[in-house]
Amino acid sequence: MIARRFLLAATALPALLLAAPALAQTEIKLDELVVTVTGRPEPRSQIPGTVQVIDRDKIEHSSAKSITDLLAENAVGFFSEWTPGQTSINIRGGSTDGQGKDFRSQVLVLMNGRRAGTANLSKLSAADVERIEIVRGPSSVIYGSQNIGGVINIILKTGRTAPGTMIEAAGGSWGLLQGKAQTGGVYDSIDWYAGVSGGKRDDYHSGRGGTTMANTGWQRFGLTGALGLQINPDHRIETSLRTDGIYDVGFRGSGANTISQEDRYNNSFDVTYKGQLPGGRYRWMLQGYAVQDVDNFRWASPVIRGGTGLPALGTAADYNRRELNVFGTRFQPSATLWQGNDLLAGWDWETSKLRSIRDRIGVPGNPLAPVSPQDNNQSETVNAFYVEDSQKLLDDRLTLRGGIRRTFGTTSFEYTPNLPGQRPRDVDYQATTYSTGATFKATDQLTFRVGYATGFRAPTATELAADFNTLGGGRIFGNPSLKPETSRQVEAGATYAGDGWRVDAALFQNVISDRIITRLRPGVANTSDYANNSGDIIVRGLELQLDGDLLRLARFEDTRWRWSVFANGAYNFDMKDKGAPVTANSNNAERMYKYQAAIGTRFGQSGGQYDWSIQVQGILRGPMWYNTEENLIASAEPFREFIHRKSPFWVWNVRGEVEITKGVKLFALVNNLFNVNEHPIFIGLDKKPYKLDSRFANGGTGTSMSGLEVQAGLQARF
């Protein structure tokens, strides 16, 4: 803890002395290169799926404290933000687990093209991130399990992409202090990068009509290093090392808990070798990586809902440590066989090991025997082979693409502490996934695309063989006959890239089958079983991305002025859960937005005595449905399995910056400008009249997101 605070101070103090560049020229990237879909740089116009890019410019003008915040600002999907350290996401019906369990996610989170080791995006900060590429839906065969709703690839900075030195420090509401420093460069054939970041905040105050939300404070610390060696024009080796985490973060959860806290951190290392024969006709990539992902839960629930539905004695402490270790490698050769043809092949191998321990202490009068962790111990080994071919025709205006992947895996349920009657076993699985599509460049500005792809997620050992007690005292049993979850997606889209503006639209359908769910066991209180849901989730929607340079469009000649607009949005006009219980009051797919949007504009001037800009951004969190886990009073919930519709709301943020001297930039921002008292997921908000049933409260009477927040700081570059 002392080391983290010392490093935070070290990054903040020099910021008063150093310098930052002028406001950059507004740039609309008409056909930028993306790497996530095919594993190698290709123009976005030649990709048959929808790709969204959050580049460095958007990151540097963001107020995000985590990757979750950053993606929410760009309307990437639905985010159920349980705490500042715990988030799940839903993209096109595919979702991550609410506890951030990477091995149960339907959205694949990558870092530098390899598995990040966590799908809990709140654990990861935006520091040292060069760009983020989001692939919507299962649009690629180079990725295996979990590629159902999409892929999020976090690409880190290197000495080649971020040369120079930058130091930044900021402070703000509720005791916020944060800072970061980075340096990088190129010397002869070597490039390097190093970055450090840290921060802390105390408990925040919710919006209008709210109070100070106890147990919402946190601390962050991250460190990143990268080293590259350009052996010659045809051969390159690069490595990256990163540790990132959030510590002492409060976990209020659905019960407004003011006791539970968590530490969540992620460590990773990767090394990549890229080579080619002279002329570039034959190429290859070899990557190896290691990831350690740790969650330390220091939970307690003195009051729980008992088997009769009434309050019961709970826990004074419920400590659970979960550690996931991943080792993997990928070999990916490619070749240009003839004019316009590009063949890609690949082999993936990965092994992972999950270990958990748990220790519970009951409140006085409630002695508790040891129980198993919430996740069974498991190991998994995966081998996969894939091939994809693309062919350009009609003077390279038409690109046809198709691929297939075959995945072989073994999931091993292993000895788990305090799990009675366990029978360790190995379960093999196999899956074949496909992708095919075409893009057609009708004019120099207009490109059409169409694609079809499939994805899957393999069952975990917990789902195959679980027998554990949940935090609230419930019991869940596994099912060795579970089938993998699968998805099938078809989409069509178009991009128009004009002079100074770009718009992208996509129409899609994603069908998710054999979802692994928990189902209440008839006649047995507080007991459930894992099962495949026979009903599909069907999501049909329309997505839109827009970037524009208004002054360029208006043919304004004074190049000192800048005025850009940007927007992202989605409308899921059909989102049905065909497996919803017949007794449910709604069959809308849960925990995903009916519609959402992020819009903004930035106006400013560069080239004068004081470069400056101001940015205004609005985030629309649309309506969504879900069966809340909160204990709500009768007036808020007519029956326990009632599916709520959460109404939409807007949040507006403002950020301004000015270069006060050559290279030193002062910035300030206001988040939640209108002090909205809301929350992305919870119904029981921190405002009167309270909707939570006070009998089950563990210190709080509702949970809201933070209210109006002010922040200011200095950034320096040289």
The pLDDT score that the predictor gives to residue 587 is: 94
Average pLDDT for 303-327: 91
The C-alpha atoms of residue 379 and residue 417 are separated, in whole angstroms, by 15
Instruction: Annotate 387-430 with three-state secondary structure.
Output: EEEEEEECCCCEEEEEEEEEEEEEEEECCCCCCCCCCCEEEEEE
- Checking if the pLDDT of 21 tops 70, the result is no
Strand 527-532 relative to strand 475-477, pairing: parallel
Confidence bin at 20 (pLDDT 50/70/90): very low
Residues 6+ apart with CB under 8 A from 3: none
pLDDT at 190 over 90: yes
Q: What average pLDDT score do residues 224-243 get?
A: 97
Q: Pick the residue with more confidence: 36 or 14?
A: 36
pLDDT in tens, 129-172: 999 999 998 888 998 888 899 999 999 999 999 999 999 999 99
Mean pLDDT of the chain: 90
How many residues are listed for the chain in this entry? 718
Residue 467: the pLDDT is: 63
CA distance 383 to 349: 5
pLDDT band of residue 2 (cuts 50, 70, 90) is very low
Is the CA virtual torsion 563, 618, 58, 593 positive or negative? negative
Say how far apart CA 146 and CA 109 lie, in whole Å: 9
Q: Is 67 helix (H, G, I), strand (E, B) or coil?
A: helix
Task: Give CA–CA dist 382/562, Å, rounded.
Answer: 50
Distance CA 564, CA 289 (A): 39
Higher pLDDT, 696 or 18: 696
The residue-averaged pLDDT of 75-79 equals 88
683-697 pLDDT per residue, tens:
999 999 999 998 888
pLDDT at position 701, please? Answer: 86
User: 130 Cβ partners below 8 Å, 6+ apart?
Assistant: 56, 155, 156, 157, 158, 161, 162
b/e per residue, 380-402, with b = 16+ CB within 10 A? bebebebebebbbeeeeebbbbb
Mean pLDDT value across residues 540-561: 92
Tell me how far the alpha carbon of residue 115 is from its chain's centroid: 12
In the DSSP assignment, the letter for residue 175 is G
Whole-prediction pTM? 0.92
Q: Could you give the domains of the chain?
A: 2-717 (2.40.170.20)
Query: Across residues 284-296, what is the average pLDDT?
Result: 97
